[in-house]
Amino acid sequence: MTTATGDTLRSSQQEEQHKSVSVRAVQWRIFRQNRLAILGLVVLGLFFLLLAFGDFIAPYRPAMLTPNPLAPPHRLHFRDADGAFHWRPFYYAYDKVRDMKTFKTTYVEDTTKKMPLRLFIRGDSYRMWGLFETDLHLFGVNSDHRVHIIGSDELGRDLFSRLVWATRISLTIGLLGVVISLVLGALLGVISGYYGGVVDVIMQRLIELLMSFPQIPLWMAFAAIIPVRTDPLLVYFLITIILSFINWTGLARQIRGMTLSLKERDYALAAQAMGASDLRIMVRHILPNTIGHMIVISTLAVPGMILAETALSFLGLGIREPMLSWGTLLKQAQSLHMMAQAPWVLIPALAVVASVLAFNFVGDGLRDSLDPYER
């Protein structure tokens, strides 16, 4: 009898495991069929590579000055002016030419100065992940010249290196801000929905009060309070907290609505009848059933955080020098004259657009794959 009971338990466990694996396989199949979601996942993978290996990928320090302000992007060549083919890509050094009528400086390629681009080259030293010191970079040139694959800014700083560093700041602000909003929204939402009564009324009125304020003016007001001489690292954390201040309210309402339904399910009522504490019921039986929804909402909320930080930094109210973000890089493109003279200063805007679209594509794919009605 005991053997039969053990076999039955093992059989049921295997069926549950097979069912779980099958559900995950179906979810992945649905997500994989969404080509835009896969494209977004690839783009986000590239951004996270910049986030993790930015020191290695960036050829120069973001504050390094060069004598070539507003230099256009270097064009890579495989065939030189004489028609000879080269396996190693190279670029021609620039000569600066000044128009004596307009006093405008232009850059002209000097075809006698070929600069071969090399991989895994030694350059400025840095500490990788704060663990060990190295001077190895992904690419560069063995000379005093500087390669600018997407041009330089008005002070001659390499725009690609600055874009890599700005990507790290903008992405981490978006992700960290969403994590804070997620924790606040999930915690307060499940408490409000589970206890109901006076607790629910007070929390919902507080949420309605916060949601009644316009987001952008409120963000600008809080950001403007930060003193100008505040430490840049402290500004980073304050901006993250400011962006998370209101964003948790929508998620809290959604989790509250799900909790009202989940707390009436048989497993929650059974746990309550067996004497389980309220904390255990909320943590073990209610919150796990909202994880799929929270993942989708979080993925779709990151673009809003990134756009908000970019807007604040663009207006001079967010991240400040010497720290970099996409918004601080775009401050150079505030005039039509600058955009006409050096259109490559708008390249950071392409990074903003690409990240926002990628997060939205992945969020839509996750929403469809986790939707039980799609299976």
Regarding whether 324 and 227 lie in a shared domain, the answer is: yes
CB distance 108 to 95 below 8 Å: yes
CB distance 62 to 85 below 8 Å: no
Q: Hey, which residues does 77 pair with through a beta bridge?
A: 90
Regarding whether 243 and 333 lie in a shared domain, the answer is: yes
CB distance 155 to 331 below 8 Å: no
Residue 111: domain span: 74-147
Name the domain boundary from 104, 125, 147: 147
3-state SS, residue 373: helix
Q: What pLDDT was estimated at residue 2?
A: 46
Average pLDDT, the chain: 87
**CA distance readout (Å), 318 to 157, 237, 323:** 21, 11, 10
Name the domain boundary from 147, 170, 194: 147
Paired tokens of 93: 């050094």
Q: Of 168, 153, 172, 175, whose CA–CA distance to 56 is shortest? A: 168
Neighbouring C-alpha atoms within 13 Å toward the C-beta of 118: 15
Regarding whether 329 and 362 lie in a shared domain, the answer is: yes
Name the domain boundary from 92, 123, 147: 147
CB distance 121 to 140 below 8 Å: yes
Regarding whether 326 and 200 lie in a shared domain, the answer is: yes
Residue 207 lies in a domain: yes
Q: Specify the CATH number for the domain of residue 327.
A: 1.10.3720.10
H or E element in which residue 88 lies: strand 85-98
Residue 198 lies in a domain: yes
CB distance 192 to 206 below 8 Å: no
Regarding whether 178 and 85 lie in a shared domain, the answer is: no
Q: Hey, which residues does 133 pair with through a beta bridge?
A: 127
pLDDT in tens, the chain (375 residues): 445 444 554 555 555 555 555 777 888 888 889 999 999 999 999 999 999 999 999 999 998 988 889 999 999 999 988 888 989 999 998 888 887 777 788 898 888 888 999 999 998 899 898 888 999 999 999 877 889 999 999 889 999 999 999 999 999 999 999 999 999 999 999 999 999 899 999 999 999 998 888 888 888 888 888 888 888 889 999 999 988 887 899 899 999 999 999 998 888 889 889 988 989 999 998 998 888 889 888 888 999 899 999 988 888 888 888 889 999 999 888 878 888 888 999 999 999 999 999 999 999 998 888 765 555
Residue 342 lies in a domain: yes
Whole-model pTM?
A: 0.86
Regarding whether 231 and 366 lie in a shared domain, the answer is: yes
d(CA 194, CA 272): 12
User: Cα Rg for the chain, rounded, in angstroms?
Assistant: 27
Residues in the chain: 375
CB distance 51 to 149 below 8 Å: no
Regarding whether 228 and 253 lie in a shared domain, the answer is: yes
d(CA 282, CA 274): 15
Residue 368 lies in a domain: yes
Q: What pLDDT was estimated at residue 97?
A: 86
Regarding whether 197 and 301 lie in a shared domain, the answer is: yes
Regarding whether 92 and 228 lie in a shared domain, the answer is: no
Residue 14 lies in a domain: no
**CA distance readout (Å), 268 to 251, 279, 287, 351:** 22, 12, 11, 45
How many domains does the chain contain in total?
2
Residue 91 lies in a domain: yes
Regarding whether 247 and 188 lie in a shared domain, the answer is: yes
Which amino acid does the sequence have at 42? Answer: V
Residue 346 lies in a domain: yes
CB distance 345 to 158 below 8 Å: no
Regarding whether 251 and 133 lie in a shared domain, the answer is: no
Q: What pLDDT was estimated at residue 105?
A: 81
Residue 229 lies in a domain: yes
d(CA 238, CA 153): 28
Regarding whether 233 and 101 lie in a shared domain, the answer is: no
